[in-house]
Amino acid sequence: MAVPDLNLLVTLEVLLAEGSVAGAAKKLRLSPSAMSRALARLRTATGDPLLVRAGRGLVPTPRALELRGHVGRIVQDGAAVLSPAAALDLGKLSRTFTLRTSEGFVENFGPALIARIAKEAPGARLRFIAKPDKDSEALRDASVDLETGVIGETTGPEVRTQALFKDRFVGVVRKRHALAKGNVTAARYAGGRHILVSRRGLDKGPIDDAMKKTGLERQIVTIVGGFAAALALARTTDLIASVPERHTGNMRDGLHSFPLPVATPSITLSMLWHPRLDADPAHRWLRGVVRDVCKIT
């Protein structure tokens, strides 16, 4: 099927508004002969004369009168589509943003983030969902607007990313634990009974690799899938949890934290989004809010 020349819609709107080939030509900055040719094409496309001579002027046909209001709306809609988006009015923003976050993000950053959203855009709301893996499919299929976490090998190459903050692991024990007092050496740390956090169920992690370089090995007595479970166990037992410091700030209330006695690589928490949302004004505002909250919390 041949694609019609949509530029003719603008010509038709002006011709019907002016009721004159010469007037329409002047408004569109065309020569009268070019406008006459355009009218001929419109007559062919619509199967109607559209404008017919009456004395020295032209009058619209019934078909032209029927089209006049309709064509005007189409041209206005087209102009709106091909124009930059209107300035974002946060007071009128009504939108639900879905955030897929790594464990601890909601507990630590959620309160400040929700308060900031409520203050600036009371009609917006956040939907938090768990992040069981680092696959980017949820960003691609638009079921998730924004994601937080550590960038991994399965992160899609097209995904946009921005670092939020660096974090380090700390040891965590209950207040009356032996490690809550005195200097925690590598030997004291290795001598305790440990909780390993592994979403994939692995029996060793980066801390164990660091311990191995010192000739020590920690005793892992249980493996859990998340930081919340590790901290819950540390709170009620003599087990030692090792978790990211900033990411679990609120979750460690009432517990004793200490720097790890071995050097472990820092981790970078980032936010991730699909490039289709890169220029969306509301999404850009959301990203700015997340950056600000993570900077000061």
Q: Kindly report the CATH number assigned to the domain that includes residue 54.
A: 1.10.10.10
112 part of a folded domain: yes
Mean pLDDT, to the nearest integer, of 42-55?
87
Residue 100 CB-half CA count within 13 A = 20
Q: Are 175 and 256 in contact (CB under 8 A)?
A: yes
- What is the value of pTM for the model shown? 0.71
Same structural domain for residues 140 and 275? yes
Lowest mean pLDDT among 53-67, 78-92, 161-175, 262-276: 78-92
Section 54-75 average pLDDT: 83
The domain that holds 188 is classified in CATH as: 3.40.190.10
Higher pLDDT, 104 or 289: 289
- 4 pLDDT more than 80: no
Give the range of the structural domain holding residue 11, as residue numbers without chain letter: 7-81
Q: Let me know whether 102 and 243 are in one domain.
A: no
Q: Do 33 and 153 lie in a common domain?
A: no
Judgement on whether residues 261 and 272 belong to the same structural domain of the protein: no
Q: Give Cα separations from 155 to 30, 112, 133, 159, 160 (angstroms).
A: 53, 27, 10, 7, 10
Asked whether residue 2 is domain-assigned, the answer is: no
Which amino acid is residue 161, in one-letter code? T
The mean pLDDT of 10-26, rounded to a whole number, is 87
Same domain, 113 and 43: no
Residue 1 lies in a domain: no
Per-residue pLDDT reduced to its tens digit, 176-212: 999 999 999 999 999 999 999 998 888 889 999 999 9
CB 175 within 8 A of CB 292: no
Residue 82 has pLDDT above 80, yes or no: no
Three-point CA angle 197, 107, 118, nearest 5°: 155
Task: Kindly give the pairing relationship between strand 57-60 and strand 146-149.
Answer: unpaired
Tell me, yes or no, whether 129 and 178 share the same domain: no
Report if residue 21 sits inside a domain.
Answer: yes
User: Do 198 and 162 belong to one domain?
Assistant: no
pLDDT band, very low/low/confident/very high, at 85 (cuts 50, 70, 90):
low
Computed over every residue of the chain, the mean pLDDT equals 90
Is the same domain home to 173 and 261?
Answer: yes
Would the pLDDT of 1 be above 60? no
116, 237: one domain: no
- Residue 69 confidence (pLDDT) above 80: no
> Would you give the DSSP letter of residue 4?
P
160/214 same-domain check:
no
With cut-offs at 50, 70 and 90, classify the pLDDT of residue 157.
confident
Are 175 and 257 found together in one domain? yes
pLDDT on residue 83: 66
C-alpha to C-alpha distance for 87 and 145, rounded to whole angstroms: 20
Let me know whether 137 and 283 are in one domain: yes
pLDDT value for 167: 94
Residue 3 pLDDT = 65
The domain boundary residue, chosen from 47, 81, 115: 81
CA neighbor of 141 nearest in space, from 286, 277, 281: 277
Q: How many domains does the chain have?
A: 3
In a domain, 72, yes or no: yes
